[in-house]
Structure 1
């Protein structure tokens, strides 16, 4: 029997809805707690430089609540000194370093670890020494995977956005090529001793082939689950995703 894939639920867009109106509702911390009850293994939150969704207050509260419950927080952040100071203060279970541009709607690609190796490596070292597991969010490119290993990361999270977009837009050959690259990247990273995660753009139609990749240990999914929760509720949305992930691994008891 294959090993179960962990599910990290990104609650950023609960904060997006809150910020559209102002005030404190809906509360991302409540969403995080409900996600864990529904079957999430951990919570992911991206504190962006422009604070467009998750706020410093959210990270303060999430850090405290999840630490009390002994559940993991995965803090996504840009490679900046401001974000490094925040991460070193909170010392979350995991830190995922991601590229970030002010003008983008969402993260558009993977981190350039090859080009930024001398800048990124000290961040990895300091965060690791503080007790966080450091992940680098990269494309499934052999050079980026090798550079992530040399930078000292414990984890790489492979960017699945290009694959998911190709599936949704009916570009079958491109989708197959992107999936093949993800499979090859997962094999390479695993062989180097890196733990392999994946995420970005995953929905019910794209999760199964990704979750079926044996080397992938965790998926981080956010926007789709929060959107689906509008129609069916957060618990049922997560439960269905969890079932599809389990089915992809052929686990007993999958519905």
Structure 2
């Protein structure tokens, strides 16, 4: 099976929230991406609701079910519930995403910028992974290249999502060849431990093809910031089509 593309729509919600109201409409953006052939939709609702919100999650869950595609819900499972945020596991209970991607981001963090320390975090993650799998969610854990991904398999994770920010930085600096072997090695270790591999963060049309060619077994890429930025110039349908060509190896 070729790699699949899940479009992260957080940036659509950021633009909407900067002005208030309903525009741009995150559901309309999701329909445009799915009509163009995207394999799924991702959002990462944070406790401060600065982009995707509780109502977005529920609406997108329904829309993706209608389209028969996967909904990937990202979040920190340790973030405490508060006004306007019921907590990540409760959101999963309400939305029943196909995939729950657990990410260790702090409340005030601008964006996800590191994976779990599995040596430190495995014991705390294990019961949460079990709860999510009992809901029928496939569970993916955010992981750095070079991390102890076999520990993720040992606590029941189905996948790891490789954090590709450092690769994107290396690619931009002309040093991709130095970074890619670390990702390839980690991907092979994940597969050997019985998991599948996802990837995401700062991937774009320029660097995605080289990553997929060098890193074996990547099942899914989740791309938001770059795709939405590129779509400002080319349109969502055209941009999604271009990414689909890359993930298909064309």
Fold-level similarity (TM above 0.5): yes
User: What is the Cα deviation at residue 171 of structure 1?
Assistant: 4.6
Which blocks of at least 5 consecutive residues in structure 1 are unaligned?
248-253
2:112 maps to which residue?
A: 107
2:84 maps to which residue?
A: none
Cα distance in 1 between the residues matched to 2:58 and 2:179:
37
Are 1:140 and 2:145 counterparts? yes
Are 1:153 and 2:157 counterparts? yes
Q: Is residue 142–residue 188 contact of structure 1 (8 Å, CA) maintained in 2? A: no
User: What is the Cα deviation at residue 245 of structure 1?
Assistant: 2.2
2:226 maps to which residue?
A: 224
Are 1:64 and 2:62 counterparts? yes
Cα distance in 2 between the residues matched to 1:186 and 1:222:
22
Q: Would you say how many aligned residue pairs link Structure 1 and Structure 2?
A: 242
Equivalent runs, 1:145-184 vs 2, <5 Å? 145-168=149-172, 170-172=173-175, 175-184=176-185
User: What is the Cα deviation at residue 147 of structure 1?
Assistant: 1.4
1:245 maps to which residue?
A: 247
User: What is the Cα deviation at residue 10 of structure 1?
Assistant: 0.5
Per the normalisation by structure 2, the TM-score is 0.93
Q: Is residue 211–residue 219 contact of structure 1 (8 Å, CA) maintained in 2? A: no
1:186 maps to which residue?
A: 187
Q: 1:68 is paired with a residue of what secondary structure?
A: helix
Are 1:24 and 2:22 counterparts? yes
Cα distance in 1 between the residues matched to 2:139 and 2:129:
6
Cα distance in 2 between the residues matched to 1:119 and 1:89:
23
Cα distance in 2 between the residues matched to 1:50 and 1:113:
26
Cα distance in 2 between the residues matched to 1:69 and 1:203:
25
Listed one character per residue, the Cα deviations across residues 26-73 of structure 1 (whole Å, up to 9, x for unaligned) are 111111111111121011110111111000010110111212222110
User: 65-74 or 219-228: which moved more?
Assistant: 65-74
Q: 1:148 is paired with a residue of what secondary structure?
A: helix
Listed one character per residue, the Cα deviations across residues 164-195 of structure 1 (whole Å, up to 9, x for unaligned) are 01211x252xx323211111111111111101
Q: Say which of 70, 73, 76 aligns to 2:74.
A: 76
Cα distance in 2 between the residues matched to 1:101 and 1:142:
20
User: What is the Cα deviation at residue 103 of structure 1?
Assistant: 2.9
Cα distance in 2 between the residues matched to 1:91 and 1:111:
23
Root-mean-square deviation (Å): 1.3
Listed one character per residue, the Cα deviations across residues 47-105 of structure 1 (whole Å, up to 9, x for unaligned) are 11111100001011011121222211000011126211111222111100001123322
Q: Is residue 191–residue 197 contact of structure 2 (8 Å, CA) maintained in 1? A: yes
User: 63-72 or 184-193: which moved more?
Assistant: 63-72
Per the normalisation by structure 1, the TM-score is 0.91
